[in-house]
Chains A and B, each alone.
Chain A
Amino acid sequence: MHSNPAKNHSLVGPEAASERTLYPYVTGTSVVAIKYKDGILMAADMGGSYGSTLRYKSVERLKLIGKHSLLGASGEMSDFQEILRNLDELILYDNMWDDGNSLGPKEVHSYLTRMMYNRRNKFDPLWNSLVLGGVKNGQKYLGMVSMIGVNFEDDHVATGFGNHLARPILRDEWHENLTFEEGVKLLEKCMRVLLYRDRSAVNKLQIAKITEVGVTISQPYSLKTFWGYSAFHNPTVGAEGSW
């Protein structure tokens, strides 16, 4: 952390400005990720909400880190950008060693955990829930770090609302050795439920795939939704007066 010369270091007096993140302002909603046969699949929509307004609709919340890892973030977007700057520096220093070795997903996950936990201990958290996935030397890795530093590794993870809506589906239907098509279908099923039931979700999402070979982040696309239930067209037939 670089020291800010403009920061007021006095703890007493009315000029002691509050320099900690109190609330998030521009937020991204859930990220869902699963391990599949060849690597990791991660999906996130492209919405950045400003409170209850859907302000930004082309926010890329999935980013490549180094050669082997993919980072997806939900929560405050400016803190996400700060994390990306820090990770850029980390990868740059790693490349400067030029020793043929490169930071894999486990190492990046560990760095992120330390960063998030230390910021939380200073009561100045980075308001994000991060999903980190990657493949290195044939080993698949998928982990999550929350804004207070809780971290774990699992076969399928989700942040925010995804924990309540997507995790149950994944617990039922995930299995080892999903093919790419099956994995995408499963992720799309989860993202569709999130689109129906999460108010800050937007119908424009990206799915990213990371394998031993490399990373592809898809172009933004939208899901098909179904609103044609006859009960939706005429809900109070036979129950006049209710709604």
Chain B
Amino acid sequence: MANSTVDLPHKGGFSFDLCRRNDMLANKGVQPPSFRKTGTTIVGLIFQDGVILGADTRATEGPIVCDKNCEKIHYMAPNIYCCGAGTAADTEAVTDMVSSQLQLHRYHTGRESRVVTALTLLKKHLFNYQGHVQAALVLGGVDITGPHLHTIYPHGSTDTLPYATMGSGSLAAMAIFESKYREGLTREEGINIVVEAICSGIFNDLGSGSNVDVCVITKGNKEYLRNHLSPNPRTYVNPKGFSFPKKTEILLTKITPLKEKVEVIEGGDAMEE
């Protein structure tokens, strides 16, 4: 025991200790579990009054669709929303984390959050993890300086663009944007182009599918249109519905309240010092 070195506390960041073990296991033929990815089409575009974000709703686990109607447009602030592609856990965790950081910042400054703040917090976090946090995001919002749209890549680089697409269906969606986008779109035209681009991803990319979610953010107002378009309805539904054969018998009913009912007396004794 005289030769043991002092165990330093972890400095933070990703710990690469298990990578050698993983390599050894891979050499022996052990396959790592596949992540739940949101093989995805996410888009954003800037129109004359603000930003429109769009996303499909399919989440895949390898070749299987594990969630037919997941939510890929995440809330960051009342005026900022973020679409996420890549590993589902990473996009959820990172957007939740930055959303709460933004809320604390709002309490601290007393002002509406700015899109660049969210951008910098996300980019710092992702760069810190050197691309291992596999979240590719389309961040959009309207703040006091105007409408903004950014893309953030897993390694931490960002782009500021008038129209952007990410995910496996990004090429199909970008083909629509490149041929149809122009400046000064109205709200209806913008929503139409976003819906067309997401549909292009849904029908031409295997990793995207199901429904279209749209989020329109303007100055002082936001509209989250969940399942704005459902172009893939279930064709054959049993008209009789489901009926469970045996009903469960109730033998005993006992209700335990979880919160204690406390009597509050008006004008009671003041607390002791």
**Which residues of A are at the interface with B, using a C-beta cutoff of 8 A?**
161, 164-169, 171-172, 189-190, 192-193, 196-197, 229-232, 235-243
Nearest opposing residue in chain A for B204, CB measure? A168
Nearest opposing residue in chain B for A235, CB measure? B160
One of B46, B158, B183, B200 near A168 (C-beta < 8 A):
B200
**Which residues of B are at the interface with A, using a C-beta cutoff of 8 A?**
46, 115-116, 119-120, 145-146, 148, 150, 158-162, 171-172, 174-176, 178-179, 183, 196, 200, 203-204
For A237, the chain B residues whose CB sits under 8 A away are 146
* Given known A-B contacts A165-B174, A171-B203, A172-B200, A242 and B179 have beta carbons under 8 A apart: no
A232 to B163, CA, bound (A): 11
16 other A-B residue contacts (CB within 8 Å) besides A165-B171, A172-B196: A164-B172, A164-B175, A166-B175, A168-B175, A168-B200, A169-B179, A189-B179, A190-B175, A193-B174, A193-B175, A196-B178, A197-B175, A197-B178, A231-B161, A239-B148, A243-B160
Is A229 a contact partner of B183 (Cβ separation < 8 A)?
yes
Is B119 a contact partner of A197 (Cβ separation < 8 A)?
no
Is B116 a contact partner of A243 (Cβ separation < 8 A)?
no
Nearest opposing residue in chain A for B172, CB measure? A168
**Which of B46, B172, B183: most chain A Cβ within 10 A?**
B172
**Which of A165, A168, A235, A240: most chain B Cβ within 10 A?**
A168
Give the shortest distance, in Å, between B160 (CB) and chain A (any CB): 4
Q: Looking at chain A's contact residues, is the secondary structure mostly helix, strand, loop, or mixed?
A: helix
Is A241 a contact partner of B120 (Cβ separation < 8 A)?
yes
* Given known A-B contacts A168-B200, A172-B200, A243 and B158 have beta carbons under 8 A apart: yes
Give the shortest distance, in Å, between A164 (CB) and chain B (any CB): 4
A53 to B175, CA, bound (A): 25
A166 to B176, CA, bound (A): 9
For B162, the chain A residues whose CB sits under 8 A away are 229, 231-232
Is B171 a contact partner of A239 (Cβ separation < 8 A)?
no
A167 to B196, CA, bound (A): 14
A232 to B148, CA, bound (A): 13
* Given known A-B contacts A193-B175, A229-B162, A231-B162, A242 and B200 have beta carbons under 8 A apart: no
Give the shortest distance, in Å, between A240 (CB) and chain B (any CB): 7
Is A238 a contact partner of B146 (Cβ separation < 8 A)?
yes
13 contacts between A and B (CB under 8 A): A165-B172, A168-B176, A171-B203, A197-B171, A231-B161, A231-B183, A235-B161, A238-B146, A238-B148, A239-B116, A239-B145, A241-B120, A242-B150
8 closest Cβ pairs, A-B complex: A238-B145, A231-B162, A164-B171, A168-B172, A168-B204, A235-B160, A168-B200, A193-B178
A164 to B205, CA, bound (A): 9
Nearest opposing residue in chain B for A239, CB measure? B116
One of A171, A189, A231, A239 near B204 (C-beta < 8 A):
A171
* Given known A-B contacts A168-B204, A229-B183, A230-B183, A239 and B160 have beta carbons under 8 A apart: yes
